[in-house]
Amino acid sequence: MMAKELLGAGTVALALSVLIESASVSAQVLVPVQSERLNHEIPIPVFAADATWPDLPEDMMLGQVSGISVGPDDHLWLTQRPHSLGPTDTGLDRGEAVACCRTPEPVLRLDPQGRVVAAWGGPDHAPEIDGVNQWPASTHGIYVDADSNVWIGGNGAGDHAALKFSASGEYLGQVGRREQTGGNFSENLLGLPSDISVAGDSVLFADGYANKRVIEFSETGDGVFAFEELFGAWGKPPVAPVREGDFDQSQATSTSDGGPQLEGENFGDIVHCVVRGPDSTLYVCDRRNNRVQIFRETEAGFQFLENLVIAGETGGTRTATDVGFSPDGTYVYVADMMNGRVWILLRETHEVLGSFGKNGRYLGEFIWLHSLDVDSQGNIYTSEVSTGRRVQRFVMTGIAE
């Protein structure tokens, strides 16, 4: 039986009352969160929710926060979906409310204190190609590279492209084309790319919501990209059928796929993340199959290492949505959408040491936990879609021996 530790029952109300009394003070207020520890012989990091973070403008309400990425300066970048906000959320736009709220920009940059220091995005920031504006109908993943360039993919109608921008929002190029897709073996077109990873000239895409593969390009300069390789589950050719038509949210909860295939030959219906890890590793979230497939990046290409099952019995929206690492590479963190928790694994063996979080709408809880990233101090950031519509910070407060 799993040993569960409910940390600090009743402390949430106390911490929030302290926060209210000192509303004008930006001091950090940390609130213990529900956690579980499965192996008391191995040290495990401990996290608390930051009740004062983010510090958004008074007239700002976030839509679904589909992607987050910590930049090289520890600023958190996020992409959120303005179209997921309703008319009662954005009454200030039309003069129907006196205080809140206005429609926020799709891309926001937050400093370590959670304050918005940049905001941009939308069709005005992307070119028109063959009469089609290239800005995504619904943004999904965001990645900030070592030069603070911002990469964005989408999973809305026709969003078969991933775009590169400068930190100020200047368009720098793209892979793929909106409203054009070519299937799993196309070497120049994408199929609803969900996530991006960049290292030097190498650009990887989890491709993603229509296709069922990982594909790599090399950037040759001036926004030009050359195909390098592609692969499916287990590092084999991606022979899985592609999604026909547009993706809609109901397909993320459907059981028409027969449930998770833990040892399945192919990636499932959503290849959700592609994350480079320590020691030239690559972690790929096969969300609908409740697993993370791990590869090693070599001069000869990507070689399969391990099939890591995450809460394999889970149905519904399934589990593995994103992956992050502690700054020293000791721990792996896996976001689990259906179970509303962040799993903590020992990277050396991938043993599950415990987790934190639970399903719910309050501080330290999750609704449709979607993305995860870690800053240089070891703090974890999470985002939520559907009706979650928020970003949270979990401060690493120490190591439990």
8 pLDDT higher than 50:
no
Picking from 334, 336, 333, the residue whose alpha carbon sits closest to that of residue 396 is: 333
Give the Cα separation of 288 and 269 in Å (integer). Answer: 6
21 pLDDT higher than 80:
no
Is residue 359 within 8 A of residue 340, CB to CB? The reply is: yes
Q: CA torsion sign, 242 to 246 to 250 to 252?
A: positive
15 pLDDT higher than 50:
no
Is residue 188 within 8 A of residue 209, CB to CB? The reply is: no
Mean pLDDT, residues 215-242: 95
What is the reported pLDDT for 255? 78
247 versus 166: the higher-pLDDT residue is 166
Mean pLDDT, residues 256-263: 90
Mean pLDDT, residues 26-30: 84
42 pLDDT higher than 70:
yes
Give the Cα separation of 145 and 199 in Å (integer). Answer: 7
26 pLDDT higher than 90:
no
What is the reported pLDDT for 95? 95
Mean pLDDT, residues 342-357: 98
371 pLDDT higher than 70:
yes
Confidence band for 153, pLDDT divided at 50, 70 and 90:
very high
Confidence band for 264, pLDDT divided at 50, 70 and 90:
very high
Chain centroid to Cα 46, Å, comes to 21
What is the reported pLDDT for 222? 84
Mean pLDDT, residues 11-25: 43
DSSP 177: B
What is the reported pLDDT for 7? 41
9 pLDDT higher than 80:
no
Give the Cα separation of 221 and 395 in Å (integer). Answer: 39
**Average pLDDT in the chain:** 93
DSSP 300: T
CA-CA-CA-CA torsion for 304, 308, 313, 314, nearest 10 degrees?
-100
Starting from the edge strand earliest in sequence, which strands make up the sheet with 351-356, in order? 4-5, 35-37, 351-356, 341-346, 331-336, 320-325
Is residue 86 within 8 A of residue 67, CB to CB? The reply is: no
CATH number for the domain formed by residue range(s) 4-400 = 2.120.10.30
CA-CA-CA-CA torsion for 189, 167, 195, 350, nearest 10 degrees?
140
Give the Cα separation of 104 and 400 in Å (integer). Answer: 39
Give the Cα separation of 210 and 111 in Å (integer). Answer: 34
Please state the domain extents for the chain: 4-400
Confidence band for 247, pLDDT divided at 50, 70 and 90:
confident
Please, which residues bridge with residue 346 across strands? 331, 351
Confidence band for 226, pLDDT divided at 50, 70 and 90:
very high
345 pLDDT higher than 50:
yes
What is the reported pLDDT for 16? 46
The set of residues, in sequence order, having a beta carbon less than 8 Å from that of 142 and lying 6+ positions away, is 66, 67, 68, 69, 77, 78, 79, 107, 150, 151, 152, 153, 196
6 pLDDT higher than 60:
no
Helix (H, G, I), strand (E, B) or coil at 344: strand
pLDDT tens across 61-80, in order? 999 999 999 999 999 999 99
10 pLDDT higher than 80:
no
In b/e form, how buried is each residue of 120-129, taking b as 16+ CB within 10 angstroms?
bbeeebbeee
pTM summary value: 0.93
How many CB atoms within 10 Å of residue 74? 12
What is the reported pLDDT for 161? 98
User: Is-cis flag, bond preceding 238, omega within 30?
Assistant: no
For 196, the token pair is 């991006």
How many CB atoms within 10 Å of residue 255? 8
Mean pLDDT, residues 38-56: 98
Task: Report in angstroms the alpha-carbon separations of 75 from 33, 68, 153.
Answer: 24, 10, 20
